Amino acid sequence: MAEQLAQKNPAQEDPVQESLVQESTVRSEAYLDIVWRQFKKNRFAYISLWLLLPTFLIAILASALVSNQPFIFFDGDEVLFPWLRFIFNPEEPVDFFFNMAMLGLIPWAVAAVWTNRAWRRRGMPGRRRALLVSAEYLAVIVAFSILFLIPGVRPTNKYAARSFHVDQFRSNGEKWGIFPPVRFGAGEPDIESQFQPPFYRKPETSSAGLAAYKDINDGDLHLLGTDNIGRDVLARMVYGTRISMSVGFVAVSIYMTIGLIVGAIAGYFGGVTDMLISRVIEVVLLFPAFFLILILVAMLGQSIYLIMIVIGITRWPTIARLIRGEVLKQRSIDYTYAARALGASDFRVIFRHILPNSLSPAMVAAPFGVASAIILEASLSLLGFGVRPPTPTWGVLLQLALGNYSYWWLIVIPSVAIFCTVTIFNLVGSGLRDAMDPRLRI
Amino acid sequence: MAMLPTLFGVTVVSFCIMQLAPGDPLRNSLTATGEQGKSAMRREAYLIQKRDLKLDKPLLLNFRAFHDYHEPLRQAAFFRGRSEEEIVEHLRRLVLDPDSSEHAARIQYLKSLPFDDFDSRLSDPRKHARLATAIRGFIQMYCEDVGIYGVSAAVELLTSADSDLKLKIGLIDCVDMMVVEAHKFTYSRNPKESETPLVMGVWKTWWDREQENFPPLDEDRGKVLEEQLATMSGETSRTRLFELLEEEYFYERDDMRFFAEKLLGESVLAEKSICAVVLNLYITRPLPTQVPLSIDEERVRRVSENWLAHYEPRRDIYQPTLGRKTRNILADTQYAHMVWRLVSFQFGRSALKSKEFVSDKLWTAFAISAPLMIMAELVIYFVSIPLGILCAVNRGNIIDRLLSLKLFLLYSVPPFVAGMLFLLFFCYGDYLKLFPMDRLHSEGADDFGFVRYSLDYLWHACLPVMCLSLFSLAALAMYARTSMLDVVGQDYIRTARAKGVTRTGVVYKHALRNAMIPILTLLSNSLPALLGGSVLIEVIFSIPGMGMLGWESIMQKDFPTLMALIYVQAIVVLLSILLTDILYVIVDPRISFAARGSS
């Protein structure tokens, strides 16, 4: 549905605008600069682009902000690092990825400043530098992930065998530790405080025969209340950001890739290929997307990775259709003939010359796609077909309140989070669309 | 005509979804790695559904008519004719001497069955007991899958002189699994003349065998029976007929002579039908088709005869002509059967215990969903277009900015979030109970008058419709705005203004109609979204419509219903696209179907 807005891009079918598009592609070096200038003029879009930064930071730094594991803990006779074990052994691979992103943040920042300066001295244009620097970050994350997946490289300590939370910390004795700001874990149950509203304070002492033991977070404030088994909602929301973000981005990358390749092939080769692909696109678009995804997820099993893949394989036709239209137009422009006359292969013509020039409708659709993937994930979880229970997502919180509306905070908080994220992505998308709209460019 | 390939694609996708259906429960329990208890369906229920949906046929191409089933059936019957202990004993012999031609053939056959690592299970004697159970189970499935294609080979083997007793017992067992209903003892609900040879053939076989056991009837009894038969054949209501049979007319065993002779002799169709019913009611197991493992030669011979009586009148089915065989390659497959069911809108029965007709279920759900959908579409179009125009007319000033921003925020609210928030703020709690929580009618709404009933309905439908329409409404209004702006910037609008047409005049007379054209296309876009999105809205508001039906069928793994739902929704969308195309032509005279041609 979000792609509907993207289709508004008049560069696709309106012959009047075609000349303008051509003009812009001729000056292709300046095209993105123009887009950027236009984008900055749109105040809402520009602000939302900056708002994406804290959203990403929350996702990346979740483990450092919210965790019941202290960074450093002195238990009377030795110093422990429980947090390290925690970030290197998460239950969900997504968490591992984000933890690596968190570890890589500072090394990358240092490297980025340094390489950026070097490149600027060499006279590299700013846009290219920005691209390379972001690529550096990805490389750092991947390198860290691979590095720490090698057995034996991960730092270990004596807490490898024990869980810190229910550990036997007697309340007396000399102990100190450095804790994250919020001292609750996303999957830390607490039988005595189920379904507590926001600003509920965890009791100082537990009464169930465990009085002699003290949790590190006893007496802390559950800022956003607790859920059905007493887990902190704030912690689940923060970790849910990671799931939502990764579902959004991975699903969109999957269907963008498929859509770009299939659309380019259909548009470039035409004839029977085009007809076959167009029919397939039509057929997939006929089925109500949400229902189709629901069936596939329900039948194939519940996991976020499956959701990403299923969204990916059911959503590509919209992108393919956009790209096909654009490629059809680019195919008959002189530079394509020139490239072919110079002896470039079909592959090279498509991926080096035509595709970069037909990306704009797909680029506009991407932010909307991320937003709709986030919505989809939440709605699947709401219906109970999403992730398996211990994984924290926003939709699961909503599901808890589905039967009973007295748990208002379980509805309002995830709703607000979903709304804000979706709005941010939609605003970026609409800003991009307006910026790429040649009619507004003067 | 261009829709045909699309339709074809729709059936392919539906077919693929059908393939996700959980497998045979028997197979799941037999394979070592089978996920047991995954499906709560019983074997029997599964079998009925399997036969109903033709899941025992090959997927796409059926070459079974050309396959020679003599050898596999000989092997299958060899095992089915033996008890599990005997099979274990034989397995031991197979392991000791796997190379003799007889044993090699047997092992080859067993390997063609879908075992998990058959070799290791065969070589380990401790696993032989379970393997024997599995062999019997898999052969059962094999026979059920072969179905009618193996019957002629089996009957030939059964009648050949080479077959020993155990093989014959096994063969009878196999044939019994291949054929669903061996003998047709009675006519169907509406008797047809074409059924007569089958029914009469069955009873003739029985009568030839049993004739001497029935003494001749006396005159008086004959007359009474004649009268009763006349009453019964005059009876039109079937329930009344069975009431007569169960409560008023009682027959002795000897009376059967009368009915048998009546049926086999000269009589009209109605009388024959009644006679068959009576005979079937009073004779238990006239022609047994099953045999236990330990049994004497005489009984086996008799049951074989019963099977021959089944086989002979159906010879043309079991030994089809070459033309039919060739046709069956494509026609008698899972895919072909499914396409036929979809095209003719026969969706069969639900896989749930209630065994309701899927089409009934769909209609009930559709009757609930459709008004909501239509209302939502109306709201979408009647609210969004004026809003879009309002924005476009006031382009750039404060009204446009505020409205656009609001629409944009609205666009970012997922329908289910809106639904839950509405319920939370407007329905739940003590102070703001503006709307009902769920369902579409109050309790006891059936007794209301028409006006009150409709008002009650509207009151209940208010929130769901709002939720359904919010998202598309915002999208469409924004679209209407840009579309209008596009048109307002055109030359002919400037010309009209220059001519002296007023501002409003230009907007409503010249611009509006042209701006409507692209908006129309969105009708076909918003409908799939509405159909899909209704799952969430209906679950949240507990409305038993299409969405809820879909959700429940997924939860209960009711595949016939699911497939029908998917298919019907796709067809609805297809039709809406067609409708959009037609509307296009009506609204915009510049466009004609002839000119659109390739697009």
Nearest chain B CA: its distance from A55 CA (Å): 17
pLDDT score, position A172 = 56
Last residue of a domain, one of A154, A174, A193: A154
Residue B598: pLDDT above 60? no
DSSP state of B511: I
pLDDT score, position A417 = 94
Residue range of the domain that includes A185? 164-214
* Chain A hits for B429, Cβ within 8 Å: 405
pLDDT score, position A170 = 53
d(CA A62, CA A83) in angstroms, rounded, equals 12
Last residue of a domain, one of A154, A173, A188: A154
Q: Hey, what long-range contacts does A52-56 have (CB within 8 A, 24 or more apart)?
A: A52/A424, A52/A425, A52/A428, A55/A241, A55/A245, A55/A421, A55/A424, A56/A245
Assign A19 a pLDDT band (cuts: 50, 70, 90): very low
d(CA A202, CA A217) in angstroms, rounded, equals 8
Tell me how crowded residue B266 is: count the other CB atoms within 10 A of its CB: 7
Domain-embedded: residue A260: yes
Render A178-213 in DSSP notation, one character per residue: E--SB---TT---TTSTTPPTTEEPPSS--SS-TTB
Higher pLDDT, residue A161 or B226 = B226
**Identity (one letter) of the amino acid at B254?**
D
B556 part of contact set with chain A, CB < 8 Å: no
Render B337-371 in DSSP notation, one character per residue: HHHHHHHTT---B-SSTT--BHHHHHHHHHHHHHH
Assign A65 a pLDDT band (cuts: 50, 70, 90): very high
Same-domain status, A198 and A254: no
Same-domain status, A357 and A262: yes
pLDDT score, position B108 = 80
Same-domain status, A194 and A288: no
What strands lie across the sheet with A72-74, from one edge to the other?
Answer: A79-80, A72-74, A176-178
Length of chain B: 599
Residue A102: pLDDT above 90? yes
Same-domain status, A146 and A274: no
Sheet strands (E) in B253-403: none
Whole-complex ipTM: 0.84
Q: Which residues pair with A201 in a beta bridge?
A: A221
The two tokens of residue B9 are 């694609």
Same-domain status, A204 and A180: yes
B573 part of contact set with chain A, CB < 8 Å: yes
Q: What is the mean pLDDT of chain A?
A: 83
Domain-embedded: residue A42: no
CB within 8 Å: B20 and A419:
no
Chain B residue whose CA is closest to A368: B412
CB within 8 Å: B570 and A398:
no
Same-domain status, A302 and A372: yes
Same-domain status, A308 and A202: no
Q: What is the mean pLDDT of chain B?
A: 79
Higher pLDDT, residue A3 or B349 = B349
Tell me how crowded residue B194 is: count the other CB atoms within 10 A of its CB: 7
CB within 8 Å: B479 and A402:
no
| CB nearest B412 (choices: A280, A298, A426) | A426
Same-domain status, A319 and A177: no
Residue B98: pLDDT above 80? no
CB within 8 Å: A383 and B531:
no
Same-domain status, A249 and A355: yes
d(CA A121, CA A107) in angstroms, rounded, equals 22
CB within 8 Å: B13 and A284:
yes
Domain-embedded: residue A373: yes
Domain-embedded: residue A66: no
Assign A205 a pLDDT band (cuts: 50, 70, 90): low
Asked if A138 and A123 count as a contact pair (C-beta separation under 8 A), the reply is: no
* Chain A hits for B12, Cβ within 8 Å: 283
User: pTM to 2 decimals?
Assistant: 0.80
Render A12-74 in DSSP notation, one character per residue: TT-HHHHHHHHHHHHTHHHHHHHHHHHHHH-HHHHHHHHHHHHHHHHHHHHHHHB-SS-SEEE
Q: How far is CA B368 from CA A231, A411, B568, in A?
A: 39, 27, 15
B52 part of contact set with chain A, CB < 8 Å: no
Residue A257: pLDDT above 90? yes
Asked if A191 and A208 count as a contact pair (C-beta separation under 8 A), the reply is: yes
Last residue of a domain, one of A129, A154, A179: A154
B492 part of contact set with chain A, CB < 8 Å: no
* Chain B hits for A429, Cβ within 8 Å: none
Question: Among A328-332, B67-71, B240-244, B593-597, which is the least confidently predicted range?
Answer: B593-597
d(CA B528, CA A158) in angstroms, rounded, equals 56
Q: What angle do CA B411, B415, B418 make, to 5 degrees?
A: 95
d(CA B551, CA B534) in angstroms, rounded, equals 10
CB within 8 Å: A290 and B13:
no
pLDDT score, position B533 = 65
Q: A14 exposed, middle or buried (CB, 10 Å; 0-12, 13-18, 19+)?
A: middle
The two tokens of residue B582 are 């037609």
Q: What angle do CA A152, A155, A161 make, to 5 degrees?
A: 90
Number of separate domains in chain A: 3
Same-domain status, A295 and A410: yes
Mean pLDDT over B553-568 rounds to 84
d(CA B460, CA B541) in angstroms, rounded, equals 10
Domain-embedded: residue A325: yes
Lookup result for tokens 């006891």: B444
Nearest chain A CA: its distance from B406 CA (Å): 11
Same-domain status, A96 and A184: no
CATH, residue A361: 1.10.3720.10
Asked if A239 and A94 count as a contact pair (C-beta separation under 8 A), the reply is: no
Lookup result for tokens 């923060």: A238
Render B257-317 in DSSP notation, one character per residue: HHHHHHHHSS--HHHHHHHHHHHHHHSS-SS-----SS--HHHHHHHHHHHHHHHGGGHHH
DSSP state of B100: S
Sheet strands (E) in B11-100: none
Q: A87 exposed, middle or buried (CB, 10 Å; 0-12, 13-18, 19+)?
A: buried
Please give the backbone phi and psi of residue A201, each rounded to the nearest 5 degrees, phi first. -105, 130
Domain-embedded: residue A38: no
Same-domain status, A169 and A141: no
pLDDT score, position B483 = 86
Assign A194 a pLDDT band (cuts: 50, 70, 90): confident
The two tokens of residue A13 are 């079918």
How many secondary structure helices (H) and strands (E) does chain A include?
17, 5
Mean pLDDT over A247-269 rounds to 94
pLDDT tens digits along B321-369: 788 778 777 777 888 888 888 888 878 777 777 778 888 888 888 888 8
Please give the backbone phi and psi of residue A74, each rounded to the nearest 5 degrees, phi first. -110, 110
pLDDT score, position B178 = 78
d(CA B211, CA B205) in angstroms, rounded, equals 10
Residue B58: pLDDT above 60? yes
pLDDT score, position B265 = 76
pLDDT tens digits along B6-27: 888 888 888 887 777 666 656 6
d(CA B273, CA B281) in angstroms, rounded, equals 12
Higher pLDDT, residue B446 or A251 = A251
d(CA A246, CA A98) in angstroms, rounded, equals 9
Q: B544 exposed, middle or buried (CB, 10 Å; 0-12, 13-18, 19+)?
A: middle
Q: What angle do CA A345, A346, A352 make, to 5 degrees?
A: 85
Three-state secondary-structure class, residue A176:
strand
CB within 8 Å: B574 and A379:
no
For β-strands A221-222 and A200-201, DSSP reports them as: antiparallel
DSSP state of B589: T
